[in-house]
């Protein structure tokens, strides 16, 4: 897989993520509950991660590659936090969400600044931090997969299996990237290509499900009017 | 409830009040608010305006979306 192909994949992934932000904003728009902000934020940071990586590939900047890793990890953290707080809210859970959200923003800002400006102030990012971030991403994705699968099992319907599948594909992508990162040569092997494919298919699943559910009734009404 | 009442010919406010379990004066406040937002035709009925119909469709779509996303909403 050439650099140009990797660049193209990152750009396409970024576009898909930013389209998803519009869809994922709907629950917050309807409910005005802050705990649903993690959905659009998660996919927005995912998109920012892809943009950073694309620019990092194009300009050969390692700082942007690390920034991409940080923002992608926090994307999954925001998504996992949203699912964790998606239960019936109580007075304390709202406060807990606000505190957690604030801490995540502070942590993300700190790590992002470290990624971009760390080398200029003599701070080297340890390799163990990169591994930690990748493992954290995997843990968050695994939690989301379990949560969505549990929701599906509680009320099994054909329409509710696709989102768990999408998250499973994102999880496979992250796991493949973890294997690829463990390769000292960073060769573009099966792990890397598989990660790219799984990510694109996973994002595609989200796009299709989001579009179909948010435009469903309008299509039905159009058909009813046409048949009348 | 809005959809069901919109489709029925005889809308009785006390029946709605019992269904949603709120005091009558608060129900009147809600209806006034819906009327001000242009979602119902007048405060004595629950006849939806076109805007109200669109809002209800969008509301149901988003609830379905949240269900598919595995996010519970009351």
- Domains in chain A: boundaries: 3-227
What is the structure's pLDDT at A120? 63
The model's pLDDT over A181-192, given as tens digits with 9 standing for 90+, comes to: 776 555 567 888
Host domain of residue B33: 2-68
Q: Which CATH number fits domain A3-227: 1.20.1070, 3.30.1370, 1.10.3680, 1.10.3470?
A: 1.20.1070
Per the structure, the count of domains in chain B is 1
A215–B contact, CB cutoff 8 A: yes
B7–A contact, CB cutoff 8 A: no
- Polymer length in residues for chain A: 228
The dihedrals phi and psi of A187, each to the nearest 5 degrees, come to -75, 150
Percent of chain A at pLDDT > 70 equals: 86
C-alpha to C-alpha distance for B71 and A167, rounded to whole angstroms? 14
Which of B61, B66, B72 shows the shortest C-beta gap to A217? Answer: B61
Indicate whether B74 belongs to any domain: no
Cα-based distances in Å from A54 to A20, A93, A114, A189, B71: 19, 38, 19, 19, 32
Burial of A169 (0-12, 13-18, 19+ CB in 10 A): buried
Indicate whether B29 belongs to any domain: yes
B71–A contact, CB cutoff 8 A: yes
Helix or strand run (H / E) with residue A208 = helix A190-214
C-alpha to C-alpha distance for A198 and A204, rounded to whole angstroms? 10
**How far is residue A15 CA from its own chain's centroid?**
13
- Closest CA in chain B for residue A80: B71
CB of A42 closer than 8 Å to CB of A75: yes
Cα-based distances in Å from A183 to A70, A129, A186, A228, B27: 20, 16, 5, 62, 65
What is the structure's pLDDT at A205? 94
Contact A214 B61 (CB under 8 A): yes
Indicate whether B40 belongs to any domain: yes
Q: How far is A3 from chain B (nearest CA, A)?
A: 34
The model's pLDDT over A5-19, given as tens digits with 9 standing for 90+, comes to: 888 889 999 999 999
The model's pLDDT over B12-56, given as tens digits with 9 standing for 90+, comes to: 777 778 778 888 888 888 888 888 888 888 777 778 888 888 888
What is the structure's pLDDT at A46? 94
Percent of chain A at pLDDT > 90 equals: 32
Name the B residues in 8-67 with CB < 8 Å from any A CB. 57-62, 64-67
The model's pTM is 0.80
Task: Name the pLDDT band for A171 (thresholds 50, 70, 90).
Answer: very high
């Amino acid at each position: 897989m050439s650099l140009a192909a990797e660049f193209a994949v990152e750009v396409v992934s970024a576009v898909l993520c930013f389209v998803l932000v519009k869809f994922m904003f709907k629950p917050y728009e309807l409910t005005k509950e802050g705990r649903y902000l993690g959905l659009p934020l998660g996919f927005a940071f995912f998109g920012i991660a892809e943009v950073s990586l694309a620019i990092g590939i194009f300009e050969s900047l390692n700082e942007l590659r690390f920034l991409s890793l940080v923002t992608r990890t926090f994307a999954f953290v925001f998504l996992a936090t949203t699912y964790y707080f998606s239960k019936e809210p109580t007075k304390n859970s709202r406060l807990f969400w606000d505190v957690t959200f604030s801490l995540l923003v502070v942590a993300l800002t700190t790590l992002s600044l470290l990624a971009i400006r760390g080398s200029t102030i003599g701070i080297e990012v340890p390799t163990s931090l990169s591994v930690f971030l990748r493992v954290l991403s995997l843990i968050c994705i695994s939690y989301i997969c379990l949560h969505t699968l549990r929701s599906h099992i509680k009320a099994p319907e054909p329409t509710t299996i696709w989102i768990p599948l999408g998250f499973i594909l994102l999880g496979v992508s992250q796991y493949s990237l973890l294997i690829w990162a463990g390769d000292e040569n960073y060769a573009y092997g099966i792990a890397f290509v598989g990660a790219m494919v799984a990510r694109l298919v996973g994002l595609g699943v989200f796009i299709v499900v989001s579009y179909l559910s948010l435009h469903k009734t309008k299509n039905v009404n159009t058909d009813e009017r046409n048949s009348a | 409830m809005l959809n069901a009442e919109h489709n029925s010919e005889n809308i009785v406010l006390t029946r709605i009040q019992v269904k949603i379990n709120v005091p009558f004066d608060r129900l009147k406040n809600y209806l006034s608010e819906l009327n001000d937002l242009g979602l119902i035709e007048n405060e004595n009925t629950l006849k939806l305006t076109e805007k109200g119909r669109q809002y209800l469709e969008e509301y149901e779509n988003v609830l379905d979306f949240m269900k598919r996303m595995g996010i519970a909403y009351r």
